[in-house]
């Protein structure tokens, strides 16, 4: 596969510097967190490598990370994938700890949940946008928060969920220079989780007015400043000396190099061309990497959710018996064995690695048993005794095409023929998912670190203000609103568990299959101040601020 001339030049440069001071990424920074699952988890260090959190942090160095997919633009409000790399450029009000639901303050020095419908954020005074055109280091105020929320709600090009701000918010305003207040229309417990999402970056009005959007000219108040972005090739950013967290970041710069072929990417990493590997790893690749001296492999939670979507307002999926037939035929354990070499979990509606909210694995496995005899009976009763043929667009990342090939073998046993159609992620989103132009579609949901967005796939307005699948159920809407109206974590957890059980019994419109175990890999010059994994997509790790470097051993 042909790669860019830039990549070739970088490879030669990198090889000549293998023993110089190098930079790394905690969990490989924002890109790898997004692509391979957030969090720390169990760490394994190959060879004589030193555990990443041991030693005194040092300043300086250039981190280079290879990742398999271009973010498709850097505007986090317009793109559902832009945060893969641009989180380092942006500032956020807060994030949420996945493990215990704690608020982790970012730009806000205080967040107050005044009552069931009222939230107040107090900004840190003196936060500045990047000292580049057109912001030139001006101070961030609550008016910028209002602008950011307004644009996220109203921009017709925005591809992110708009429900909170558009449908469930009564008002938001700047009550003074540093105070932002938001009032919901009703009790809405996911509000803080939602605003802790990576698409809620605080952005400057003048940058949008100058360039139309931030896809090529991202300006924010994050730890790094954009230097250069070449689509499908590279992204470079340098340290922001006026970042609002004193003493951070440690790195002088970060560079992402995009290589679409995972094997090429892995080989480049193993030869020292990259500090961190942001591609996909499976059990066999991990065992191979663990033999390498100075490579560190970490096992981490995987919050991505592999799903099959059914367009239930189009034949043959207008009949619920067809949904159940498909669900009874997909062999999750066979997928785990063939695609993940035995390392994975069955999916319920919520990611199995989001353990506080997910159903127990034993229960999910007991529910999802293969029954071909019943599946054939259901198809016959629905008027398809000989099965049917259907086109299947598949997002061509994360081995989803191979997943679809395995499921094609399963469905052939009941007479269903899949015509697999691999699609670039942008094409699949724009031409199929958002247009509703499909019958059955392979998709991987973003790594949601709270339950509402996951079970929101059964809500009448879906998770983006529209139902991608044409599905509507008053019963499922009621389950969603019950969990949204409950603020006590334990009570809400039980509601989320019961809601998932009801949704599994629907056998659609989203058929969840499996989630593989996730690993990340880096060289042992990758260091981090703290290994507090699993704290959310815009944690300190995501911002790239606790990462530092050391000389190669």
Cis peptide before 249 (omega within 30 of 0): yes
CB 482 within 8 A of CB 440: no
Residue recorded with tokens 């107050």: 112
Give residue 542's pLDDT band: very low, low, confident or very high (50, 70, 90).
low
The predicted model scores a pTM of 0.84
Quote the pLDDT of residue 161: 76
Q: Could you tell me the fold of the domain covering 5-301+518-551?
A: D-Maltodextrin-Binding Protein; domain 2 (3.40.190)
Q: What is the DSSP letter of 339?
A: H
As given in the structure block, the two tokens for residue 219 are 């300006």
Higher pLDDT: 197 or 118? It is 118
Weakest mean pLDDT among 297-306, 334-343, 434-443: 297-306
* Interior angle at CA 365, CA 360 and CA 369, nearest 5: 155
Residue 77 makes CB contacts below 8 A (sequence gap 6+) with 148, 151, 152, 155, 158, 160, 199, 201, 203, 214
- Reply yes or no on whether the pLDDT at 309 is more than 60: yes
- In degrees rounded to 5, what are phi and psi of residue 162? -115, 5
Pick from 40, 69, 87: which is nearest to 544 by CA? 87
- Reply yes or no on whether the pLDDT at 285 is more than 90: yes
Is 229 strand, coil or helix?
strand
β-bridge mates for residue 367, sequence order = none
Q: Could you report the per-residue pLDDT of 348-379, keeping only the tens digit for each?
A: 999 999 988 999 999 999 999 999 999 999 99
Strand runs (DSSP E) across 139-209, as ranges? 169-176, 179-184
Is 66 strand, coil or helix?
strand
CB 140 within 8 A of CB 128: yes
Quote the pLDDT of residue 54: 52
Quote the pLDDT of residue 318: 97
- In degrees rounded to 5, what are phi and psi of residue 14? -70, -40
Question: What is the rounded distance in angstroms from the CA atom of residue 267 to the CA atom of residue 331?
Answer: 32
- In degrees rounded to 5, what are phi and psi of residue 149? -70, -40
* Interior angle at CA 412, CA 408 and CA 417, nearest 5: 70
Quote the pLDDT of residue 34: 36
Question: What is the rounded distance in angstroms from the CA atom of residue 520 to the CA atom of residue 44?
Answer: 10
Determine whether domain 305-516 maps to CATH 3.10.105.10.
yes
Pick from 533, 546, 535, 541: which is nearest to 40 by CA? 533
Mean pLDDT of the chain: 86
Question: What is the rounded distance in angstroms from the CA atom of residue 526 to the CA atom of residue 52?
Answer: 6
Quote the pLDDT of residue 32: 37
Q: Could you report the per-residue pLDDT of 454-509, keeping only the tens digit for each?
A: 999 999 988 777 889 999 999 999 999 999 999 998 999 999 999 999 999 999 99
Residue ranges, CATH 3.40.190.10, the chain: 5-301+518-551
> Widest CA span of the chain, in angstroms?
69
- Reply yes or no on whether the pLDDT at 408 is more than 60: yes
Residue ranges, CATH 3.10.105.10, the chain: 305-516
Weakest mean pLDDT among 134-148, 353-367, 519-533: 519-533
Higher pLDDT: 372 or 33? It is 372
Quote the pLDDT of residue 280: 86
As given in the structure block, the two tokens for residue 296 are 């560190």
């Amino acid at each position: 596969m042909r790669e860019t001339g830039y990549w070739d030049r970088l490879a030669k440069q990198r090889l000549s510097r293998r023993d110089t001071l190098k930079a790394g990424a905690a969990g490989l920074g924002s890109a790898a967190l997004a692509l391979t699952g957030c969090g720390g988890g169990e760490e394994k260090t190959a060879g004589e490598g030193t555990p990443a959190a041991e030693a005194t942090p040092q300043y300086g160095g250039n981190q280079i990370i290879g990742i398999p997919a271009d973010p498709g633009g850097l505007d986090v409000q317009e793109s559902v994938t832009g945060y893969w790399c641009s989180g380092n450029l942006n500032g956020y009000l807060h994030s949420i700890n996945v493990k215990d639901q704690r608020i982790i303050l970012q730009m806000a020095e205080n967040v107050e949940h005044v009552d069931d419908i009222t939230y107040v954020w107090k900004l840190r005074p003196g936060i500045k946008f990047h000292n580049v055109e057109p912001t030139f280091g001006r101070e961030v105020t609550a008016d910028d928060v209002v602008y950011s929320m307004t644009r996220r709600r109203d921009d017709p090009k925005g591809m992110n969920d708009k429900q909170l701000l558009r449908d469930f918010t009564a008002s938001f305003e700047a009550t003074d220079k540093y105070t932002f207040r938001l009032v919901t229309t009703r009790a809405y417990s996911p509000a803080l989780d939602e605003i802790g999402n990576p698409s809620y970056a605080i952005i400057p009005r003048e940058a949008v007015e100058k360039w139309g959007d931030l896809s090529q000219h991202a300006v924010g108040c994050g730890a790094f400043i954009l230097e250069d972005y070449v689509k499908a090739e590279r992204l470079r950013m340098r340290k922001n000396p006026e970042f609002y967290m004193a003493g951070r970041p440690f790195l002088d710069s970060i560079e992402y190099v995009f290589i679409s072929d995972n094997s090429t990417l892995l080989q480049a990493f193993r030869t020292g061309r990259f500090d961190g590997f942001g591609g996909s790893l499976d059990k066999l690749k991990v065992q191979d990497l663990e033999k390498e001296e100075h490579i560190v492999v970490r096992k981490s939670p995987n919050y991505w959710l592999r799903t099959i979507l059914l367009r239930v307002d189009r034949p043959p999926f207008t009949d619920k018996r067809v949904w159940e037939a498909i669900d009874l035929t997909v062999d999750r354990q066979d997928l785990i064995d063939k695609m993940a070499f035995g390392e994975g979990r069955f999916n319920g509606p919520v990611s199995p690695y989001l353990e506080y909210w997910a159903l127990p694995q034993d229960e999910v496995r007991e529910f999802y048993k293969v029954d071909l005899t019943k599946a054939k009976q259901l198809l016959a009763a629905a008027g398809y005794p000989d099965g049917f043929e259907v086109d299947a667009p598949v997002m061509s990342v994360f081995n989803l095409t191979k997943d679809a090939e395995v499921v094609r073998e399963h469905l052939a046993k009941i007479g269903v023929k899949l015509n697999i159609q691999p699609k670039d992620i942008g094409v699949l989103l724009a031409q199929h998912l958002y247009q509703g132009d499909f019958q059955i579609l392979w998709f991987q949901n973003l790594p949601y670190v709270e339950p509402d967005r996951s079970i929101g796939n059964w809500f009448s307005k879906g998770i983006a203000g529209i139902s991608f699948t044409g599905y509507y159920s008053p019963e499922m809407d009621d389950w969603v609103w019950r969990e949204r109206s409950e603020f006590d974590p334990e009570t809400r957890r039980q509601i989320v568990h019961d809601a998932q059980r009801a949704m599994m019994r629907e056998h659609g419109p989203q058929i969840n299959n499996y989630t593989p175990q996730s690993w990340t890999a880096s060289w042992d010059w990758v260091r981090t101040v703290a290994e507090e994994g699993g704290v959310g997509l815009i944690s300190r790790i995501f911002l790239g601020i606790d990462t530092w470097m050391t000389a190669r051993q």
